[in-house]
Structures are given as C-alpha cells and as structure tokens.
A and B are shown apart, each in its own frame.
Chain A
Amino acid sequence: MSAVWRAAAMFVVLTSSGVGDAQPGGDARVAHIEKALAELRVEPRALDRAIYEAVRLRCKPVALACMIDVAREQCAKRGCMAAADVIVTNQHAERDLVDELTRMKLVRTNSDYHAAVLAEVREKVQRVLAAELVLARSGASVAARIDRVCVERDHVAARRCEKGAAACVGSVPYNRCVAALVWFVSTEEGR
C-alpha cells in the first residue's frame, strides 16, 4: 500500500511540475526560442529595421519566401537566424494582427509607418499575451513557458473575444504567439 501511495505522490509531483507535459518536438521548439531570446539581446530594433527596409526594397509583392531570403542574407554573417525568424514572422503577421482601417490611419498620421505598426501590435496584442505569460505556471524557463502558453492557447483554450473588446486577444497561431512574446520580452524596457 505504501508503494501505491509513493507512486501516486510521484505522479502528482511530475504532472504538477510539467515534466509530464512532453510533446513531440517540444525540446526543439524551446531550444529555438532560447536561441532567439539570446540573439535578440543585441540591438533587436536595428535588425528589425534592417530586415524591414530590405524587404521593402526587394520584395514586390511582399511574399514570405522573399522575406526569408532577405533575412537569410542579413544574418549570413551575423549569426542571427533565430532572431530573424522571429522578426520575419512578426512582420508577415502584421496584416492579420492589425486591421485595415487602423493601418490606413497609421499611414495618414505617422511619418514612420513601421514604428507605428510595431507600437500598435505591442499595445493591442503583445502586452495581452505577456500578461498571460506572467500568469502561466512558473518554475520553468522563460522559453519553456512561452512555448507552453502558446501551445495551450491555440490547442486547448482557443478563446474568443467579443467584437471590439479591449485587452482581449482571440485566436493566435502558435508561431505568431511565440514570435510576439519573444519580441516583447526582448524589447521590454529595462531588460
């Protein structure tokens, strides 16, 4: 009987600590997120601006394959592929995360459209996701928590927001959720 209780206690400890949360490819995803966080410690905004300007010059129309090629060239010597992956994902997702009317307003009222869109996405999407990250289970690394939050968000909770609801972010695919959180964590002031 005591062995049964020991096994039950071990089960509780393992599941509560997240060791039982192993998913296919989970380790590889967490490793990639950690690499991106490390690479984005050095001048993330400069890399983002460089990729954005290069995409504007070369990619007409803007297509993912072209954006990846541009990012690969930018990082060929710098060794910033993981960071570029995050930046390309964020830039490609802008059109879905920011509605057309808001984008037009940003064009009319700002001389630097890209900075305005980054600020808009930060306020409307990234901050809300960051709040969910803070509320997530602690104890694991930031990268592991980002991975778990984004998987659970998309495959478990899949929340819905009422139209026009403030501070509510609905369905966000895993890759966009990760890219948004990694960018926010990397560029938050004081980091």
Chain B
Amino acid sequence: MSAKRGVLIGVKSIAIAVVALVAAALTLRAGISLDHLHEMTVASAFAIGLFAATTAALVAFGARPRTTSRAAVGLRDGRPALHVDLPRAHPDVRELPSLVQRALLVFTFACLGLSTFTTDATARIVAVPDDLTKPSRAAYCLPKPKEEQPKIEVAAPVPEPVVDQAGCALVKRAYALGYAKSLGSCAPRAAKPAPVAPVTPQAEEVCDRRELDEPFLHYTWRRLVETVQGSSPVDYASTKYRDLTTRVDYLDDLLADIKHSITGTPHGSHHIWITLPDPHPSSALHVFTGEEPCTSRFAAVPLWPAWSASSPPGAIVEHALGQLLFATRFGTPASCMDYTLHWGASPDACAKLAANPAAFLDAADALEPIRAVLDRRQRQAALRTMMDDLGHPSTMPAPPPASYVASVACLVVAVGAPPAFTGRSITVDGATLQLREAHIAAITPTGAGPVELYTQLARLLAGAAPSPRIAASTDGSDPTDASAPNDAPPDVARPTRVVEPLVVDAATVAAFPLASLEPYAAHDPFTSADVRAQLAEPALVAVYPFDRHLHAFVEAFRRMYFAQRGRL
C-alpha cells in the first residue's frame, strides 16, 4: 500500500510555466512593448503567428498535455521533493489544463517570434524568392537605369573668388571703425577663377554577357564561336594539351602550395636564442587555460614601464623586442607568429648552431618551421616559373631570398663581458640563412639601461643601430624621423628647429621644473651620451619624453630591419 503523498504537481506543467515566465521576462527586458505591436507589419505578424502556432503544435504533440507526468514535485516534511517513476495517470498528480498548457506554449514561441521576426527580418525573408530569381549582373546584360546615363552639362559660371591680402585684418578693422578712409592695398582683389574642365561623355562599354531574352543554347554557341575564333580547332586543342601537360609537370608544386595554404604554414620563421630565463614560464594551469598568444601579449604594451632593480631581465628584453617588432603604435609591425624566442639558451648556442645547423635546430624544434617556410618559398618560385612556361604574365611577385623569410640569432647576456656583435651565414637544406650573435653585459633596468638595450637589440636584429633624428612635425601631429625619405615635393623644405640647450642650473630647475623639461624633447637619449648620463636621476626618468624619441628610433629601426627580414 503506497503512502499518501498529498498534492503533486507534474514536472511538465512546472517546466512549461517556468519557460513561459522566462520568455516573458526576456521579452520585456529586450524592450519589446505594446508599441511594437502597433508598428508591426502584416507580414511580420503573420510570420510570428505561423511560427508560434506551428512550433507550439509540434511541441505539444510530443509533450502530450492531456497525459499526466510520471515525475512530480510534492512536499515531504515541509520540503519540496521530487517523485519519479510514478505510475501512469497517478490520481495525486495535478497538471495545468491542456488548453492552458497549449496557450503557454503558444505564448512562449510568440515571445521568441516577436524578437526574431522583426519588420526588417521578415521583409528579407519575403524577398528571398525574388532575389533568387533576379538575374545576376555578372551573368546577364542588365539594362542601365536612366539615372546612370551620363549627361553633358554646361558648368555654371564660377563666381570670382575674392582674394584677401595677408596681414590686412588690422587695416580692415581700422577702416570699419572709421580710423582709415580707405583700405588702400588691402582692398579686395578678384582672382582669376580656376578653369573648369569640360565634361566629356564616356564611351559605352559593349556587354558581351547573356542577354535577358537570349536562349541558353544560342548564348553557349556564341561563346564557343568567340573562343575558337581566329584559330583552328587543331591549334586550339594542341594549346590546351600543352597547357595541361605543363601543369601536370608542376603538379607536386601545385598540391604542395595548396597544402601550405590549408594547413597554415607560417610565412616566416625567425628564431632568437636568449640566455636569460623565460619571463613567462609554463605552469600546470596552462593545461586548462592555455598559453597567452603573442598577439594578446604585445597588443597593449606600455611605452616605458617603470622597471626596478627586481624586474626580471627577461621581461625587460621581451618588452624591448615587442616594442621594436610588434607594437602597433609605431606603424606596421612584424607578425609575432613568425618569431620564436628560445629562453634559457646556453651561451654557446650560436657556436653549436653554426657547427651543425640541422641538428641544433631540430633539437630546438625550430627545424620543421624553417623547412616549411623554405619549402613554401620554393613552391612559390616554381609556380611563378610555371606561369612563365604557360606564356601568361605572372601576377605573383618573385619570392624574396631565403634569408629574408628565415633567420636565426643569439643574445648572450654575460656579466662583465665586453659587448660584441658578430654575423655569419649558415646553410639549411641548401638555403643560406643569416646568423647574428650579440654578447652584452647585464641588463640594467633603471636609468639609461633600457635605452642601451634598445640600441643593442636593434644592432642584433638589423646589423646596425639606427641613427634617428627628431624632426618637428608640420601639422602638429606626432614627431617623425628626419632620416626617413622625404615624401614632400622637392620645393617644400623640411622644417628645421633650433636645438635649445638643456637647463642645468639647479635653482632654475627647482623653480621651473616644467619649463626645464622643454629642451629634452629635442635631445635624443638614443644618440646623446650626455642625455643618457642624466637619466641616472629617477625623477627625470619618470617624466622624460621618451615617446617621441622612441618613436623615431623604432621607425628608423623598422625601416632598416624590414628591408632585410619579413615574410612571404
């Protein structure tokens, strides 16, 4: 004999009621109100009604509102309890009336339809059949609308502009106040109006696509005749056969090129071995969160962080490399996906690399990406040769040298070691790559240390440190590198500014600290040892105008570096 459970409410009714409440709440939260019903079009209302009725009917067919649920919620000792596996048509289970359940289902899907079948969306759905059957402009000759036909207009006479004389504002004011009897040479003069170019009608282009009323077979025959016109069928067939055999000869290259595109082979592979510890060591947490991609890491690096003596040297080097190569604030950056920093390298890494490049690169997991890039480059060259053999003008640019798309470098930080920069060539799979090595003393995080680091890294990457010169901008915008090619017309002189001396008097600096900083805008720490010496003062470093100097330095560096290194 089963225990009396009291009133039980079927889970079906509970679920339908909760879903209806949630749909109503979301609809109200989305801002849909009775005003929307006033603005609704007939098509939109029909779509909502059709959707709600159809979907509710389908759901009701499966839910069977007239049948009581086999699971229900009741009260046991004052607490709600779930009762499952109840017999069919249990007398204690209560459900909402069937009509109410169906009405709630319709209401729920109507709420969904209100937010989905808006006026615009419904209009687009209604227009789909017309859009599908509309003849495409690419396949058919469509008649030009009347407003597109060019008109020959006679230009209206341009009113003669009045030329104002320079420096006449005071004279005009005096004349207006009655202090002068005439404007004299400041009287407005009429300038000659600029000649108006006559509008000439453009020749109409003859459309050779299919006409709207042209039968398909006629169009096919017309295109076939045009194709073979002027050549014999035998010559045409032999040309096609020769093209086919040529392409078959380059089949490996074609397939390899497609594979490179599909599998996402890198377009460049540049590796730098650094003897410092990794500033972002992997941890067990990375198994769940993954490692931060380089694009995120370098997306918003600060310009000049306030490094301290406890800052990890690796972080300082990584930041400087990021600024030099990947920061977008200095213009077009390199792609960080093409670069790999190998931290914790041994001091003799480059010696080992030069002795046996393939073995060393393979041990560092660098051989495969370099080989992939070199192969991709080789395939591009082969496809370019194929186009030449086919007699077609090549649209692909000639691939750059192998050393442009792949490179290796070593940064050795050795306390007390004299700085040294060397370079040599290595061969990987028959391709010549550049190997550069830099030995530098310990990284100094404060004072002029970061400035020195930028110069050393630039020398490692580009082979020489750039020598930027700050040029005053002509339009009040950011400063530019005066050593950059001048795009201005030859008769426009680049403006020059007098470099004012630094304020060195301590009393003046104390009384006018803001004005004393003005000359630093023109004194570049990257080129002036005197200015670098002053950066030993932390208070000066905190407010030094690094932006304009670093901007010019990085611009000049990238101009040098991107001429040597890049990607396919």
Residues of A within 8 A of B (CB): 23-26, 28-29, 32, 61, 63-65, 67-68, 71-72, 81, 84-86, 88-89, 92-93, 95-102, 107-111, 124, 151, 154-161, 163, 170-171, 173-175, 178-179
Contact = CB atoms under 8 A, between A and B. Distances in A.
A74 to B, nearest CB: 12
A86 to B, nearest CB: 6
Contacts of B479: 171
Contacts of A29: 513, 543
B495 A158 contact: no
Nearest to B303: A158
A111 B170 contact: yes
Given A151-B542, A158-B303, A158-B329, A64 B547 contact: no
A179 B508 contact: no
B169 A109 contact: yes
27 contacts: A23-B306, A23-B542, A24-B541, A25-B543, A29-B513, A65-B500, A68-B512, A71-B515, A84-B512, A85-B511, A89-B514, A89-B515, A96-B472, A96-B521, A99-B473, A99-B476, A111-B173, A124-B476, A155-B304, A155-B542, A155-B547, A157-B302, A158-B302, A171-B478, A171-B479, A173-B548, A178-B514
A157 B303 contact: yes
B515 A88 contact: yes
Given A25-B542, A163-B475, A64 B515 contact: yes
B481 to A, nearest CB: 14
Contacts of B539: 24-25, 28
A85 to B, nearest CB: 4
B143 interface: no
B549 to A, nearest CB: 10
Contact of B515 (A23, A92, A160): A92
B421 interface: no
Given A89-B518, A96-B476, A108-B166, A155 B306 contact: yes
A125 to B, nearest CB: 9
Given A26-B542, A107-B167, A151-B543, A175 B302 contact: no
A18 B168 CA distance: 54
Nearest to B517: A175
A179 B542 contact: no
A115 to B, nearest CB: 13
B519 interface: yes
A111 B541 CA distance: 42
A36 to B, nearest CB: 8
Given A24-B539, A24-B541, A151-B543, A160 B514 contact: no
B495 A64 contact: no
Interface string B477-511: 11100000000000000010010110100001001
A102 B474 CA distance: 10
Given A158-B303, A175-B518, 10 more contacts: A25-B543, A85-B513, A86-B514, A89-B517, A96-B473, A154-B546, A155-B305, A155-B546, A163-B477, A171-B479
A11 to B, nearest CB: 17
A156 B250 CA distance: 53
A158 B169 contact: no
Contacts of A86: 514
B308 to A, nearest CB: 10
- Smallest CB-CB A-B distances: 6 pairs: A25-B539, A24-B538, A173-B545, A158-B303, A175-B517, A99-B476
B208 interface: no
B565 interface: no
A62 to B, nearest CB: 10
Contacts of A108: 164, 166-169
B519 A64 contact: yes
Interface of B: 164, 166-170, 173, 302-306, 329, 472-479, 495, 498, 500-501, 503, 508, 511-515, 517-521, 538-539, 541-548, 551
Contacts, number: 140
Contact of B517 (A28, A98, A163, A173): A173
A97 B476 contact: yes
B476 A81 contact: no
Contact of A100 (B169, B329, B495): B495
Contacts of B521: 96, 173
Contacts of B543: 25, 29, 151, 154, 174-175
A111 B169 contact: yes
B512 A92 contact: no
Contacts of A68: 503, 508, 512, 515
B474 A99 contact: yes
Contact of A171 (B164, B520, B538, B551): B551
Given A24-B539, A25-B538, A151-B543, A32 B551 contact: no
Given A26-B542, A108-B164, A108-B169, A81 B511 contact: yes
Task: Identify which of A86, A110, A155 gathers the most chain B CB atoms within 10 Å of its CB.
Answer: A155
A175 to B, nearest CB: 4
Contacts of A67: 515
Given A28-B539, A175-B517, A64 B500 contact: yes
Contacts of B472: 95-96
B503 A65 contact: yes
A25 B542 CA distance: 8
Contacts of B544: 174
Task: Identify which of A28, A92, A102 gathers the most chain B CB atoms within 10 Å of its CB.
Answer: A92
Contacts of B166: 107-108
Task: Identify which of A67, A109, A157, A173 gathers the most chain B CB atoms within 10 Å of its CB.
Answer: A173
B430 to A, nearest CB: 43
Contacts of B545: 154, 173-175
B477 A161 contact: yes
Nearest to B173: A111
Contacts of B173: 111
A179 B514 contact: yes
B548 to A, nearest CB: 6
A99 B479 CA distance: 12
Nearest to B519: A64
Nearest to A25: B539
Contact of B303 (A23, A71, A156, A170): A156
